[in-house]
Chain A
Amino acid sequence: MQTVLNLLEMEPIRFFIAFGAILFLVLNLAAILVMAERKVAGYIQLRYGPNRVGWRGILQPLADIIKLFTKENVSPGRADLWIFLGAPIALFIPAVLVWIVIPFAPGAVVADLNVAILFFVGVTSIGALGVIMAGYGSRSSFSLLGALRGAAQIISYEVPLILSLLGIVMLTGSLSLVDVVNAQGDTFWTWYFLPQFPMFIVFYIAGIAEVKRVPFDLPEGESEIVGGFMIEYSGMTWALIQAAEFASMGLMSAIATTLFLGGWQPPLPFLDLGQFNWFWFGIKTALIMFTFQWIRWSMPRLRMDQLMDFGWKILVPACLIWLFVTAGVMLIIPG
């Protein structure tokens, strides 16, 4: 028994188990999010949403997964098969990988990297590669347009996304997410969303654009390019792309929670649950995910040129201005 515990203490094995747990969590999260999305959409749209499988349709994700697993995987005859089949994987891996740097509760983090924010920025931008692979490998003009849009969008919105994180890095003096959470304290008015409010808004908007959701779902654009880069996918490959989309949506919410809403910190000191503070983390993340879905079902889509204008002419200057303001305030009031 003792040897087993010792083994668990060893770093590689601990990491391995923890990463397995993350994978389990993310895949389940994707399934739950699909369900939540359909329910939220249903209630916004004057209908019930899925309510046939299980109690109030609670087993619907299971039915979906069985359906997708048993579906034939059709790839177009002209497709570049290696690129075509590699794309879902290239989309899925970054969406899962970043979860390892997120602190879920005090001490509950797979890898406390000292460059966690850099890691997040770097790994999420690999997602653009997956989009280009999917669009290029399918050999369809619709998916090619979708991929070009996706690549341009992700790369453009990476800039305000990174800039919006800089203010926090300046305030904390660290790139580690654990340090960021610890620095925010256990009262909600000390969380960074108040001093960095414009940055929070920019991060939120750029985050929606990064995960390609309405009003920035141009790479999908179902009314003009019919699903864009994922138009040719079916069965498991499509499921993997969807899982990646939902995992990265959850990821964006989790990162926003960690950076701006105090991570696992309770809103008031007496609400501290100790090890069970993951509850607060979950509540805040779910709240942000719900707002993502709320926007998803009530907004129309922007056009490509408007999207670029918005990113470069509004978000980036706003970030830069607030960066100077933050720096100025930090100079005047040290500490």
Chain B
Amino acid sequence: MLKDEKRVESITLSGRESGRLANPDIRDEFGLETLDMNMGPQHPAMHGLLRLILELDGETVVRCDPVMGYLHRCQEKIAENRMYPAVIPLTDRLDYFANMHNEHGYVLAVEDLLDVEIPPRAEYIRVLMCELMRLASHIPSLGFLMLELGAFTPILYCFRERERIQTIFEAVTGARMMFHYIRIGGVKADLPPDIPQKIWDYIEGLEQRFQSDFVDLIQGNEIFISRTRGVGTMSQEKALEMGLTGPPLRCTGVDFDIRRDYPYSIYPELEFDVITDQAGDVEASYRVRIAEALQSIRLIKQCLEKMPEGEVMGDLGRRLRPAEGDGFGRVESPRGEFSVHVVSDGSDTPYRVHYRDPSFCNMQLLQEVIPGHYLPDIMPIMGLIDPVSGGWDK
């Protein structure tokens, strides 16, 4: 282990302006040099295409430089050349584990520009779909965390749930991943008549097996606890300073949720709790995700119970030409705050679209938190953020 002041020094040296990866000035107390290691972008356990340049002192990580850009697709630039409704399928490709939230965020921003009235049934369907999406994202993220800790089995149980939710999505939207379902002014189509009952049955079943499949086997495991407790710990101040949102922020005890604090859609009419935890480590983020998944189940039930009848699409013209100005939409995606800023110049294509993606913004936690941890702790800390490649690279 390096002495503390050396570790701090190494963090400040972590920029790549020196032009070389190894820093010969960092030596441990025996005068031995450190080992440089390149993790990713082709690494089986890395979340998508992330490259970490690591400097190791034995098994201890001294320096960690995340390098992104391996999945960059110019999403924001392409959006400038497309008409407003045609940007929605592009947003599906951002955070491909929470597509509904991306669509919702973009649509909210454009509706902010347009000032249209959305039928209440469409709002309920949007929230229903978003909360199902949150389940389909939070549950596999537990599996990813376990996979990163070396247990292979939980992920298959988690993907069983995601698979069933995707089947529901397929029935509703016609696609399993790239939905293009939430449209400006409403949603694409009404729910098929048998779907509310199917969702209800599925949610009931999930609630019953939730404890046995995702909590009992994982949470009580001694090895799981020793691998996650105290790993990746950060303080509230640090988390706020880094601009974290979502479970990584709430697991440090900050009570912040866009759904409640900057309400959108019909969330003010629904009852749910914002989950926080005090520890701020990987285990706390796991507990937050588990509890949030249960809250999602609660929200889905309320949506199904309260869902009004009526139209699902507002009255919009064929060609959208918003007045000059800018629109802003923010939603609570499973990974944190997803917000979209759309600037209009009066034409039928946006002048500028900017996405604030939680995967990207939460990523700076890596550089701050990882130095000082052991090499095997990198992966659980990635699981704490649970970033998605399409999200951070846009």
Chain A positions within 8 Å of B, measured between CB atoms, are 41, 44-47, 141-142, 144-145, 149, 214-215, 217-218, 221-226, 297-306
Contact = CB atoms under 8 A, between A and B. Distances in A.
A223 B379 CA distance: 7
Contacts of B223: 215, 299-302
Interface stretch (B78-86, B153-161, B359-367): B153-161
Nearest to B231: A303
Contacts of B36: 141
Contact of A306 (B148, B160, B226, B375): B226
A45 B152 contact: yes
User: Which of A145, A299, A300, A304 gathers the greatest number of chain B CB atoms within 10 Å?
Assistant: A300
A145 B36 CA distance: 12
17 contacts: A45-B156, A149-B59, A221-B150, A222-B150, A223-B147, A224-B375, A224-B376, A299-B150, A299-B151, A299-B221, A299-B223, A300-B149, A300-B221, A302-B226, A303-B376, A303-B377, A306-B226
Given A46-B156, A223-B148, A224-B379, A304 B221 contact: no
B200 to A, nearest CB: 24
A47 B221 contact: no
A5 B151 CA distance: 54
Nearest to B226: A306
User: Which 3 residue pairs spanning A and B have beta carbons closest together?
Assistant: A301-B150, A300-B149, A223-B45
Contacts of B226: 302-303, 306
Nearest to A215: B223
B153 A223 contact: no
B44 interface: yes
A302 to B, nearest CB: 6
A142 B37 contact: yes
B153 A303 contact: no
Contacts of A214: 150-151
Contacts of A299: 150-151, 221, 223
A215 B146 CA distance: 13
Given A298-B153, A303-B227, A141 B37 contact: yes
Contact of B146 (A149, A218, A300): A300
Contact of A222 (B44, B157, B160, B374): B44
A23 B35 CA distance: 41
Interface residues of B, number: 31
B152 A297 contact: yes
B22 to A, nearest CB: 12
A41 B43 CA distance: 23
A298 B217 contact: yes
Nearest to B58: A148
A215 B153 CA distance: 13
A298 B149 CA distance: 11
Contacts of A145: 37, 56, 59, 375
Residue among B35, B146, B149, B217 facing the most chain A CB atoms (10 A cut-off): B149
A223 to B, nearest CB: 4
Contacts of B59: 145, 149, 304
Task: With a 10 A CB-CB cut-off, give which of B149, B150, B160 has the most chain A CB atoms.
Answer: B150
Contacts of A225: 375
B378 interface: yes
B35 A223 contact: no
Contacts of B157: 45-46
Contact of A304 (B149, B153, B374, B378): B374
B224 interface: yes
Contacts of B227: 300-303, 306
Contacts of B37: 141-142, 145
B153 A45 contact: yes
Interface in B278-334: none
B147 A303 contact: no
Nearest to B42: A226
A305 B374 contact: yes
Given A46-B160, A297-B152, A300-B149, A141 B35 contact: yes
A305 B224 CA distance: 15
B61 to A, nearest CB: 11
Contacts of A47: 156
